[in-house]
Chains A and B, each alone.
Chain A
Amino acid sequence: MTLTPTLRGLFAASVAVASLSGAAKAAQPCIGASWELTGALAHTGLQIRYAVEVAIDEINAAGGVLGEQLVLRAYDDQGEPARAVDNALRIGEQDECVVMLGGFRTPNAIALREPLDEMGLPWVGVISAGTRVIEHETGENEWMFRVSMKDRWVAPFLVEQAVARAPSGRIGLFYEATGWGQGAVPDVVAAAEAQGVELVAQETFNIADTDMTAQLIRLRDAGAEALVFYGVDREADAILRSMERIDYRPTIVSAWGIGGQLGNTAGALSEGVLVAGTFSWWGELEPRAQAVLDAMKERFNLAGPQDLLLPSGTANAYDAVHIIARALEIAGEFDREKLRDAFYEVRHEGIVAVFDPAFERTMERHDAITPDAYRLFAFHNGVMLPLDQTPFGTN
C-alpha cells in the first residue's frame, strides 16, 4: 500500500504526537498488585501483602527510591483472570505505576501477557509457578519476570524426590484440573522420561472435591508408592482423608500449592507430607529474615510462623520488592522500560537466595530463583518444617 504525501504527513504527525504523549507520561513510584483479597483463597493475597508492606516500609524508612516514597496499590481479582486484567489496566493506565506484582494463580498471570505487552508494564510474579507465565509460546517475553518457583524446574525436583521415596521406583501423578495443574503435566512427564522413571498413573481432581477415593483406588491398583502432587490445602486434606479410608499411604511429594493450613485441618494425617518450596519461617532464622518476621508480626499482629500459611510465597514477595527497588535505583528514574532493562543488572542478597544477577536476557532466566534454591519441607506434628528438622530426611 502506498500513501499519498498528505497521508504520510498525517501518519508521521500522529506517531510523533503519540510518542511525545508517551514520553511525557512518566510512571509513578507505585507498585501495583492484583491479588485475591476476597473469595475462597483470600488468604493468599494477604500472605503476599504482609511481606510487600514490610519491604516497602523498610525501603521508605531508608529514604525511599530515587528520593521518592514507594506506595502499594493493591486490587482484588477474586482469583478471576478477567478481573486481573481489569486491575492491570487500572494499574498501568490510571495509576501509572512503574511495576506490577502478581499473585497466587497461574491462569491470572497468563491472562496478563497481552495487556502487559500493550502497556509496556513490567510485572513480577511472586507465587504463580506455571511455566507459561514466563516462557511464552511465542518465544518472546519482554515484560514478565518472576521471583518464585517454575513448574518446569520444580517437576524434575519433585520426580527425583518422589522416586527416592518409592522403594520400587513406581510413582504416580495427582493434580488439580486447573490451568496450573494441567500445565504441570507436560513438565512432570518430561522430567520422568528424562530420569528414566515410569509414571504408573495420572489422576485429576476438581476444585472443591471432597472425596478422592476413586482416583486413589486407581493409583493404588497401579502400584504407585509415591505421588507427585499439584493442588492446594483444601483438596490435599480431602485426599489424606480418602487415603485413610482405603488404608493407602503413598508418600506425597507436593508442589508448593500446599501451605501451612493443611496441618491445621488434617492434623495427624498430614504427618510426612512433603512440600517443595523456597523458604521456611520456622526454626532458627538468619538475622535479616528474623527481623522481617518480627516486623510482620508487629505490623499485622501475627502470632508467629504458624500464621504464614504460604511461607515461600511470603519470602519471595519480600525479595521481589527489594529487587524492584534496586532495579529502580539502577534505572535512575521511574521509567518502565529502563526498569525492565535494569532488572538484568540487579545483584541482591535476599532472604531466599543470592540473586547474582536477578534476571538474564533469556526468557528462561526471567525467573530469578533457580533450582539450586529449591528446598523440601515436611509436615511434622501439624507444622510444615524444613526437612532437616523432621524425621523425614534432609535436603
Chain B
Amino acid sequence: MEANLQYVLSGLSIGGVYAMVALGFSMMWSVAKAANFTHGDVFMLGGVLTVSLMALGLPIWIAAILAILIAAAAGALIERFLVRPFNREANAIGWMLTTIAIGVMMESFGTATYGPLPQPLPSPLAVTPLRFGGAGVFPQELLLPVVAVLAMLGLRLFQTRTHFGRAIRAVAANRVAAGLMGIDADRVTMVVFAAAGGLGALAGFLIAPVIQASTTMGLVIGLKAFMIAIIAGITNAAGVVTMALAFGVVERLIEGYLSTSARDAFGFTLMILVLLAFPQGVFGRKEVSKV
C-alpha cells in the first residue's frame, strides 16, 4: 500500500513535468501545425538560467522570472526564424530539421558556458519531504501537477474569455479563414510559441530543486513529452495533461512492479499500442478538411 502510494506520488511529480512540457507542444501544434523540438532545451533554460542569474547575485524569484522571460523570447525567436520560414507550404517539414539542430546547439553552448555538471537550485520546498507512512514526496514536487492543471485551466479560460484567446482558437481552427477575418495569424503563432516557451521554462525552474539544473535535463523529458502529446491527441490540452500525469504514474508502477530497465521499453511499447488503437490520440478528434 505504502509502495503504491509512493509510485503514485512520484508518478504525479514527473507526470507534472511531462504535462507542462507536453502542454507547450500542444499549444504550438494547435496554431502552427508544427512543433518546436528545442522545447526540451527551453525547459532546461528555466533551471539553468535561474541558477546562472542567481550566481550573478539576483534573488531567486527575480532570476526565475528573468529566466522565464528569456525562454519566452527564445520561443518567439525560434518561431519567427526557425519555424515560420520552413512551414510555409502544406506538409513542410523543414522546421523539424531547424529546431532539432538549434536544440543541439543550445545544449552544446550551454555545456560550454554553464559547464557539464548539474548545479543545485536551493528551494525550501525541496528540503523536508511530506511523509505518508513509508511514502514521501517533497512539497516542491507536488507543485508540478498542480501548476500543470492550473496552466491548462488558465489556457482554457484565456482562450474562451479573451479576444486574443479567441484569435488563438480561430487560428487553430483555420489559419487562412482567421487571416481573412483580420487576425494576424503570424503574430498569434509567435505569441503562442513564446507562451509555450515560458511554460516550459517554468517547469524547468520548478523541478530543478529536485533533479538539479543541468544542460542535459531536458533531453529525455522533451522527447517523452512530445510522444505523450501525440498519444493523447496533441490538440486537446486537457487530454494532454491527463495523459502526461497518467503516464508518469504508469512509469513508476512499471519501475515498482517490473524493473527500472523495463520502464522505457514497456512505456514506449504502451505508447505504440495506444497509438495503434487510437490513431488520432486517445483524446484526439479526427481532423476533417474540405478539399
Leading 4 A-B pairs by shortest Cβ distance? A245-B136, A214-B255, A42-B116, A210-B211
B111 CB contact (under 8 Å) in A39, A208, A234: A39
What are the residues of chain B within 8 A of A245 when measuring CB–CB? 6, 10, 129, 131, 135-138
**In the complex the two chains form, is B136's CB within 8 Å of A41's CB?**
no
**In the complex the two chains form, is A204's CB within 8 Å of B111's CB?**
no
B91 in the interface, Cβ–Cβ < 8 Å? no
A303 to chain B, nearest CB (A): 15
B210 in the interface, Cβ–Cβ < 8 Å? yes
What are the residues of chain B within 8 A of A210 when measuring CB–CB? 14, 210-211
Complex CA–CA separation, A39 to B256 (angstroms): 31
B59 in the interface, Cβ–Cβ < 8 Å? no
Nearest opposing residue in chain B for A237, CB measure: B212
Please count how many residues in chain B sit with their CB below 8 Å of the partner chain's CB atoms. Answer: 39
Please count how many residues in chain A sit with their CB below 8 Å of the partner chain's CB atoms. Answer: 35
Complex interface bits, A262-288 against B, C-beta within 8 A gives 1, otherwise 0:
001101000000000000000000000
A394 in the interface, Cβ–Cβ < 8 Å? no
* Chain A binding surface, main DSSP class: helix
What are the residues of chain B within 8 A of A244 when measuring CB–CB? 129, 136
A215 in the interface, Cβ–Cβ < 8 Å? yes
What are the residues of chain B within 8 A of A41 when measuring CB–CB? 116
What are the residues of chain A within 8 A of B263 when measuring CB–CB? 206
Nearest opposing residue in chain B for A44, CB measure: B116
**Chain A residues proximal to chain B, CB less than 8 Å:** 38-43, 177, 203-206, 208-215, 217, 220, 233-234, 237-238, 241, 244-247, 261, 264-265, 267, 309
B98 in the interface, Cβ–Cβ < 8 Å? no
What are the residues of chain B within 8 A of A39 when measuring CB–CB? 111, 116
**Chain B residues proximal to chain A, CB less than 8 Å:** 2-3, 6-7, 10, 13-14, 108, 111-112, 115-120, 129, 131, 134-138, 210-212, 214-216, 219-220, 252, 255-256, 259-261, 263-264
Complex CA–CA separation, A41 to B136 (angstroms): 31
What are the residues of chain B within 8 A of A233 when measuring CB–CB? 117-118
**In the complex the two chains form, is B260's CB within 8 Å of A204's CB?**
yes
B7 CB contact (under 8 Å) in A214, A234, A267: A214
What are the residues of chain B within 8 A of A177 when measuring CB–CB? 260-261
A205 CB contact (under 8 Å) in B119, B215, B260: B260
**In the complex the two chains form, is B210's CB within 8 Å of A38's CB?**
no
**In the complex the two chains form, is A237's CB within 8 Å of B14's CB?**
no
**In the complex the two chains form, is B118's CB within 8 Å of A237's CB?**
yes
B272 to chain A, nearest CB (A): 20
What are the residues of chain A within 8 A of B255 when measuring CB–CB? 214-215
Known: A214-B7, A234-B118. A208 touches B112 (CB 8 A): no
Complex CA–CA separation, A212 to B153 (angstroms): 31
B10 CB contact (under 8 Å) in A43, A203, A211: A211
Complex CA–CA separation, A246 to B183 (angstroms): 53
What are the residues of chain A within 8 A of B211 when measuring CB–CB? 210, 238
Nearest opposing residue in chain A for B11, CB measure: A211
List 29 A–B pairs whose Cβ atoms lie within 8 Å, in order of A's numbering.
A38-B108, A38-B116, A40-B111, A40-B116, A42-B111, A204-B261, A206-B261, A208-B216, A211-B252, A213-B7, A214-B3, A214-B6, A214-B7, A214-B256, A217-B256, A233-B117, A238-B211, A241-B210, A245-B6, A245-B136, A245-B137, A245-B138, A246-B6, A246-B134, A247-B131, A261-B118, A264-B120, A267-B120, A309-B117
